[in-house]
Chain A
Amino acid sequence: MTAQVSQRQWFNDIIEQGQQAMHSADLPCLNETRKHARQAIQQLAIPSRKQEAWRYSDLDKLFKQTYRVQDEPFTALEKGDIDSWVYSEEESYRLVFVNGDSVPHLSNIHNLPDGVIIGSLRAVLSTDMTLAAKWLGQNVWQQQDVFSELNHALANDGLFIHVPENVRVDKPIEVAYVNLSLEQNVLAQPHSLVVLETGAQAKLVERFISTGDSEYFFNGVTELSLGSNATLQHYRLQDESMNARHLSRLVLQQDTASEYHGVNLATGGAWSRTDIYTRFAGQHASCHLDGLYTVGAQQYSDFHLDVQHSVPNCRSRENFRGIIYGKGRAVFDGRILVEKDAQKTDAQLSNKNLLLTSDAEVDTKPQLEIYADDVKCSHGTTVGKIDPNQIFYLRSRGIAEHEARKMLCLGFAEEILAQVDDADVHDFIQAQVAALFSGQEGVL
């Protein structure tokens, strides 16, 4: 068997098992989507390092492992099993997904503002399929590949948020995607849909976490749609087990004068990749993507950004930083496409990396593709070490060398954290990164 054939079989095995595990009558409205996806998987190329988008992503270990869709929704988890939250239960709307399925008894979405829906996609599709179905899959056309189709082929649940016109969600929404494997390595595949209608506003924190050192494959797809003048603050915090494999696809569509600010933190996972696609559907919209990744030990961490300016007068900012140590490997691939009609585009992309050890590695690839002639665009990338003059300065003030290095790493991260407007999120991330570095005195 050639590698392509055996890898396609890997997908087909998962789908076969997944279909049996899912209740056959479950959400029949998705049957057509699932069927299309199953067919697409037979046709699409299997990612390999020969393809530019997968050049640095080693999938061999993934394809060697067997993953299974969980037979029953997970109900054994208790509230106390999730020990940290960004917000208290009173000051937020809270949702929990375990292995991709919503777990109502851990969630708290009472007293929502009029017309706002926050909940499980499965629950929404079960009662009224017209609203969600209108949006589902509308945005993913441009990034079709076997993994997104695998997600569609077994689409079953995920986050659903719908905020009607001119409504502001009064409290932040905190979503925890908890993943755990017991006897078998689990495949978790939430398909999430976030729709903000004209003038709507919301703040969403999505957290990707594990229990213990679970080994699993998370293959999530999130579709975001911002109507005219809508505003979304979106924090995505991935802090999964060091045995986890995490693939996230985020597809963002922005209408006129909408504003999106996304902050992406990736600290966990043996292998983690996030692809973000942004498309402007109307003028004067603004998209601001920030990111911080820490990559140590044998970790692999990857961000792919694809920002498409197809209409005039939009603004985009991408600002990502990485701290890589041990034998960590990081990849950053950021592309800004400015199409012919997208005059007066204002786009900036920056990626800065700190390599702390000689075994650490980063491949960074910023790309500007410009077909319009009246634009303001820039991109830059740096890879550096900690400045020995800075270490000397701190040590000469009595601060031990390992502490000095830690302070400088946190300082490097802080330049991204300073962009986090929400104080609770800022402090949560800062504490998480500080705790991460505290255990790393020998390797930082």
Chain B
Amino acid sequence: MLTITDLHATVDGKPILNGLNLQVNAGEVHAIMGPNGSGKSTLAHILSGREGYQVTQGSVVYKDADLLALDIEARAHQGVFLAMQYPVELPGVNNMTFLRESVNSVRRARGEDELDAVSFIQRVREKAELVELPDKLLKRNVNSGFSGGEKKRNEILQMALLEPTLAILDETDSGLDIDAMRVVANGVNALRSPEHAMIVVTHYQRLLDYVVPDFVHVLANGRIIRSGDKSLAHELEEKGYGWVIEEAAA
């Protein structure tokens, strides 16, 4: 589904990714771990099309096409979704209106009929229940005055509605207490299926207790320096990142 080959990228001329390779197949969940500044968020942003990053070398092929050539919204139409680390507030933009516009934009782009108001509301209610997002937050402005946990649940709600084929979770666990994390993880796990793939970017192992990955990769200095299964995450939790980086340098 996704093949990243020798990806190099810079921000303001400063190299962040230095030859990253990653293969993600349908149905797989990949965890990307690594110390601060290793390039985890940069990778997530480049995949979603955020501006401010220059890809200087390498390629990203998604569903047999050049992902980097697509506009931000076209990536969403193709099933790419980024759950953001810091979801922005949209003052004056009603959450329900936003969710409906998002779902219908994607449906239109795929040549599907727009959802009518009644079926849309039913679907939102159902998914909101899954992420335990209270009804009143659906009626508020997007993320405005939401707590950190509520913002993250709103992200997962959007993911549940859009059912992306490739979901990228950027430090979705940051700032969540254990109960909120369980709720978010439930939402994420509900989307796991043989057709859907996920990249879970995280600094800590604890989210991976709930969203169990098929593969764990360690990113350091803009490169994947080690890959393994979920036991690698536990090892990192115990021993930190130092030893992997040292071994990779040796």
Q: Which residues of A contact B (CB under 8 A)?
A: 387-390, 392-401, 403, 407-408, 410-415, 418
A393/B76 in contact, CB under 8 A: no
Q: B38-50 vs A: 1/0 string, CB under 8 Å?
A: 0000000000111
B152 beta carbon closer than 8 Å to chain A: no
Listed stretches B21-29, B82-90, B129-137, B195-203; interface member: B82-90
| Chain B residues in 8 Å Cβ range of A407 | 90, 93, 97-98, 101
| Chain A residues in 8 Å Cβ range of B92 | 410-415, 418
Listed stretches B102-110, B204-212, B235-243; interface member: B102-110
Query: Which of A398, A403, A408, A412 sits near B106, CB closer than 8 Å?
Result: A398
B77 to chain A, nearest CB (A): 6
A17 to chain B, nearest CB (A): 47
Give the interface centre of B50, B93, B102, B158 by most chain A CB atoms within 10 Å: B93
B51 beta carbon closer than 8 Å to chain A: yes
A-contacting residues, B44-61, CB 8 Å: 48-51
CA A399 to CA B49, docked complex, whole Å = 14
Query: Which of A396, A411, A413 sits near B90, CB closer than 8 Å?
Result: A411
B93/A392 in contact, CB under 8 A: no
Query: Which of B84, B90, B91, B105 sits near A398, CB closer than 8 Å?
Result: B105
B191 beta carbon closer than 8 Å to chain A: no
Q: Can you list 27 A-B contacts with CB-CB less than 8 angstroms, sorted by A residue number?
A: A387-B88, A389-B88, A390-B88, A390-B90, A393-B90, A395-B49, A395-B71, A396-B72, A396-B73, A396-B76, A396-B82, A397-B98, A397-B102, A397-B105, A397-B106, A403-B105, A408-B93, A410-B93, A411-B92, A411-B93, A412-B91, A412-B92, A413-B92, A414-B91, A414-B92, A414-B93, A418-B92
| Chain A residues in 8 Å Cβ range of B162 | 397-398
Query: Which of A387, A390, A398 sits near B73, CB closer than 8 Å?
Result: A398
* CB nearest to B158 among chain A residues: A397
* CB nearest to A412 among chain B residues: B92
Give the interface centre of A398, A399, A400 by most chain B CB atoms within 10 Å: A398
A-contacting residues, B91-128, CB 8 Å: 91-94, 97-98, 101-102, 105-106, 109
A278 to chain B, nearest CB (A): 27
Interface size, chain B (Cβ < 8 Å): 30
CA A327 to CA B51, docked complex, whole Å = 27
A430 to chain B, nearest CB (A): 11
Q: Which residues of B contact A (CB under 8 A)?
A: 48-51, 71-73, 75-77, 81-82, 84, 87-88, 90-94, 97-98, 101-102, 105-106, 109, 141, 158, 162
| Chain B residues in 8 Å Cβ range of A392 | 50-51, 72
A393/B73 in contact, CB under 8 A: no
Known: A388-B51, A411-B141. A403 touches B101 (CB 8 A): yes
| Chain A residues in 8 Å Cβ range of B91 | 411-412, 414-415
* CB nearest to A414 among chain B residues: B92
* CB nearest to A416 among chain B residues: B92
A408 to chain B, nearest CB (A): 7
Can you name 9 extra interface pairs (CB under 8 A) apart from A407-B90, A407-B101, A414-B93?
A392-B51, A393-B88, A395-B72, A395-B73, A397-B106, A398-B76, A407-B97, A411-B91, A414-B94
Known: A407-B93, A415-B91. A398 touches B77 (CB 8 A): yes
**Interface residue SS majority, chain A:** helix
Known: A403-B105, A412-B92. A396 touches B48 (CB 8 A): yes
* CB nearest to A388 among chain B residues: B51
CA A401 to CA B73, docked complex, whole Å = 8
* CB nearest to B144 among chain A residues: A411
A167 to chain B, nearest CB (A): 36
| Chain B residues in 8 Å Cβ range of A400 | 73, 105
| Chain B residues in 8 Å Cβ range of A414 | 91-94, 141
| Chain B residues in 8 Å Cβ range of A398 | 73, 76-77, 102, 105-106, 109, 162
B87/A393 in contact, CB under 8 A: yes
Query: Which of B48, B51, B87, B102 sits near A399, CB closer than 8 Å?
Result: B102
CA A407 to CA B99, docked complex, whole Å = 12
A392 to chain B, nearest CB (A): 6
| Chain B residues in 8 Å Cβ range of A388 | 51
| Chain B residues in 8 Å Cβ range of A395 | 49, 71-73, 76
CA A411 to CA B51, docked complex, whole Å = 23
CA A394 to CA B98, docked complex, whole Å = 8
| Chain A residues in 8 Å Cβ range of B105 | 397-400, 403
B17 to chain A, nearest CB (A): 19
| Chain A residues in 8 Å Cβ range of B90 | 390, 393-394, 407-408, 411
CA A414 to CA B92, docked complex, whole Å = 5
Q: Which 9 A-B pairs have the closest CB atoms?
A: A411-B92, A414-B92, A398-B76, A411-B93, A397-B102, A395-B72, A398-B106, A398-B105, A395-B73
| Chain B residues in 8 Å Cβ range of A399 | 73, 101-102, 105
* CB nearest to B106 among chain A residues: A398
CA A388 to CA B45, docked complex, whole Å = 14
* CB nearest to A321 among chain B residues: B92
* CB nearest to B97 among chain A residues: A407
| Chain B residues in 8 Å Cβ range of A403 | 101, 105
